[in-house]
Amino acid sequence: MDNRKNNKGVVGKAGRKSKAEEMKLIELLNTHIDKDKVILKLKQFIDEDNLKALEIYLAYMYGKPKETKDVTITSEQPLFDL
């Protein structure tokens, strides 16, 4: 046997941080950021037609919208022609 079941990796180092840890980090960063300067800088980017900066800001602050797809099947199609 190759003893894969004994390979646990580095405990506690892998994976994404918990949502609570992310929220604490965001709150800590928000106390050090002057929001008025951020808004003025975003306005400057918008005036320069750089909407990517606004898109990134909104995605980080408010999250991306959920993507949904509507799929309709009108009739069953055979997998093979017999």
Domain count within the chain: 1
Asked whether residue 71 is assigned to any structural domain, the reply reads no
Give residue 55's domain range: 18-62
Asked whether residue 70 is assigned to any structural domain, the reply reads no
Asked whether residue 68 is assigned to any structural domain, the reply reads no
Q: Read off the pLDDT of residues 29-66 as tens digits, 9 standing for 90 and up.
A: 888 888 888 888 888 988 998 888 888 888 887 888 88
Asked whether residue 54 is assigned to any structural domain, the reply reads yes
For the four alpha carbons of 73, 76, 80 and 82, in that order, the dihedral sign comes to negative
Asked whether residue 53 is assigned to any structural domain, the reply reads yes
Q: Read off the pLDDT of residues 68-81 as tens digits, 9 standing for 90 and up.
A: 888 887 777 777 77
Joined together, the tokens standing for residue 59 give: 């995605």
Residue 14 confidence (pLDDT): 63
Kindly calculate the radius of gyration of the chain based on its CA atoms and give it in whole angstroms: 24
- pTM of the model as a whole: 0.42
Asked whether residue 52 is assigned to any structural domain, the reply reads yes
